[in-house]
Amino acid sequence: MKKYLVSILLIVVIAFGFVACAQKGNVSDSRAPGGAGGGRIDSGDISAVEPSGIPSGDIPHFDGSTSEAIGYIRDGGTVKYLDGGYVVYRKDGSVAGALTDEEAREVIQARAGMLTACAYDDHGSIDYWKGLLTSTQEGPGKYAEYYQQFAFKALHQVKVTAQGLPQATILLKDGDVVLFAAKTDNAGVGYLYAPEWKEGLQVELVLPQNIDQANLRKEAQAEVVFDQDEIGGEAGDRAQNVELMFVIDTTGSMGDEIDYLKKEIADVIARVKEATQAEVTLALMVYRDEGDEYVTLYSDFTKDIDAQKAWLEQQHAGGGGDFEEAVETALSEAVSKQWSAKCDKYIVHVADAPAHDYKVNEWDEAILDAARAGIKVLTVASSGIDQKTEYFFRSQSLLTGGVYVYLTDDSGIGGGHLEADVEERPKVEFLNDCLVRLISVLHEGRTTDAVIQLPADKTVEVEPGQEQEPKEEAPDEGKGDDGQPTSPEDEGKTEENAGETEEIEG
């Protein structure tokens, strides 16, 4: 009898869940606080899902008010992603059913403005970055073993400013040997890196042919400035047009986010032209690994944005097998494509895995070639990356004057995302807005007022009568009378990244 009553009770609970989910209606289009927007839910499909697919173990109470909701139902029900799949919650937080990944793709429509991300600019926090790479009496830095083992050497930074001379070649030299080559941006700012620091290194500014004097040289230190009087001649021309290439990992491990990423990228493609007020030429590359259906697929540079969006929509995740992928092949091919000489150039690398260890040297060569050509790499780290992958991704963005972007768990979409080891967590943005903003800011160049890394929101509650007077800024320490550090071996200058920015609604 007891067993019979329990069975009846279970049937009633399941039926109640189906009824609750079967109320069909429009989906909330509002954005959840700090994270994802509401996806469209076909509650008719949801009601047909057997509740037996609910993940085992404790399912935390979910009241529908957090950013982890990735879909909403009219009656207040929500859909949330857990490790075991997508769970449908009633308004009171109880579980009504579950969706497999395949079912979720059918009923939750991916759209731009769902994935969340942080953009972190290691160029402006170089001292903190150095602490991650080096060892002290307290022990090794978090990435010290990778720095010692692999070719990527983004430790000894030299920031070069060539006033009035954008898109100029800059060289770091040991005698006549070129150790590193790069180009200045549209603000005349560029970065060089010494594999090892020693006395006597020189920075050489290669002057254009219209300036009738020899190239300029100065001793290398943390910051080197060539002022306009030294350079002579009229200011150089800025790169007016933008060439943008997305290089996307489409192996199976990207399957949890690839549909969302395609929508985000398509939105970025559509908006960059208006945001930069530039003529934009776009190329796309997807890649997997050796032995897969393909290693790379490529759609060449074109101004036909709609055609590129259609090509991107046809791509899907598959293959892979092991963790590492053919990153070195993809980036080597990407850098060697026919880039224009007088354009502002960007690669947006979207991935969740590094190259195989024995291929890292080839990957490093591709990144050094990108720096030499003035191609900035914006790296978008997806779910599932590990500590070593983060080291590589941040290094390639540093070496090329780009920015490290990492997806966050705020959206509730995809698997777990590794939180970057940073001095201060930046503001969370929607990925599409973040990439459009970064490309727009970097196209103008790293001016003194450029806001690349958004500061985190800080709300401090102050009791009435306890308001404090604003503090005066402390003077920079460890610098000479001219305000310049002595060498990048000892000190790096932290750039300020502050300003008024648009906040995520919620």
- DSSP sequence for 368-396: HHHHHHTEEEEEEE-TT--HHHHHHHHHH
Provide the token pair at 294.
């393909």
Higher pLDDT, 410 or 292: 292
State the pLDDT at residue 78.
64
Residue 70 has a pLDDT of 52
Residue range 429-448, pLDDT digits in tens: 999 999 999 999 999 999 88
Mean pLDDT, residues 350-362 taken together = 95
Residue finishing a domain among 412, 444, 476: 444
Q: CA–CA separation, 183 vs 35, rounded Å?
A: 36
User: What is the reported pLDDT for 501?
Assistant: 37
Residue 51 DSSP symbol: G
Identify the residue whose tokens are 């060289």: 171
Q: Which amino acid appears at position 284 of this protein?
A: L
Q: What is the mean pLDDT of the chain?
A: 77
Q: In this structure, are strands 216-219 and 202-205 parallel, antiparallel, or unpaired?
A: antiparallel
Distance CA 395, CA 389 (A): 10
Helix (H) or strand (E) holding 130: helix 126-133
Contact call for residues 251 and 292 (beta carbons, < 8 A) = yes
In a domain, 98, yes or no: yes
Mean pLDDT, rounded, for 129-142: 91
Given a cut of 50, whether residue 46 has pLDDT beyond it is no
Q: Residue 20 in contact with residue 96, Cβ under 8 Å?
A: yes
Query: DSSP assignment of 239-262, as one string?
Result: --SEEEEEEEE-SGGGTTTHHHHH
Q: Residue 414: is its pLDDT beyond 50?
A: yes
- Res 461 pLDDT > 90: no
* Mean pLDDT of all residues in 115-129: 93
Is residue 288 situated within a structural domain? yes
% of the chain with per-residue pLDDT over 90: 48
Query: Same domain, yes or no, for 101 and 243?
Result: no
In degrees to the nearest 10, what's the CA dihedral of 459, 119, 479, 197?
150
Average pLDDT score over residue span 240-255: 90
Rounded CA-CA distance 221/203 in Å is 9
Q: How far apart are CA 276 and CA 329, in angstroms?
A: 30
Residue 426: its pLDDT value, please?
92
Return the higher-pLDDT residue of 44 and 54: 44
pLDDT reported for residue 399: 98
Q: Are residues 430 and 288 in the same domain?
A: yes
- Claim: this prediction has a pTM higher than 0.85: no
| Single-letter code of the amino acid located at 338 | Q
pLDDT of 504 over the 50 cut? no
Residue 69: predicted pLDDT:
46
- Residue 261 has phi, psi (to 5 degrees) of -60, -40
pLDDT for 410: 82
Comparing C-alpha atoms, which of 478, 351, 391 is closest to residue 122? 391
Same domain, yes or no, for 285 and 432?
Answer: yes
Q: Quick check: is 470 in a domain?
A: no
**How confident is the model over 121-135, as a mean pLDDT?**
94
Phi, psi (deg, nearest 5) at residue 277: 55, 35
Residue 188, in any domain of the structure: no
| 420: in domain | yes
Q: Which of 231-245, 437-451, 481-495 has the highest mean pLDDT?
A: 437-451
Of 395, 423, 444, the residue that ends a domain is: 444
In a domain, 247, yes or no: yes
Q: Are residues 102 and 250 in the same domain?
A: no
Whether 205 is in a domain gets the answer: no
Residue 321 confidence (pLDDT): 75
Domain count, the chain: 2
> Of 423, 444, 465, which marks where a domain is finished?
444
| Residue closest to 104 by CA, chosen among 88, 127, 117 | 88
Cα distance between residue 371 and residue 341, in whole Å: 14
Q: pLDDT tens across 50-74, in order?
A: 333 333 323 333 333 333 445 544 4
3-state secondary structure of 128: helix
Give the N- to C-terminal CA distance of the chain in Å, as an integer: 51
Residue 491 lies in a domain: no
CATH number at residue 428: 3.40.50.410
- Amino acid sitting at position 93: G
- What span, in angstroms and rounded, lies between the C-alpha atoms of 132 and 394? 12
Element (H, E) at 9: helix 2-21
Going by pLDDT thresholds of 50, 70 and 90, the confidence category of residue 263 is confident
Given a cut of 60, whether residue 411 has pLDDT beyond it is yes
Range of the domain at 29: 14-107
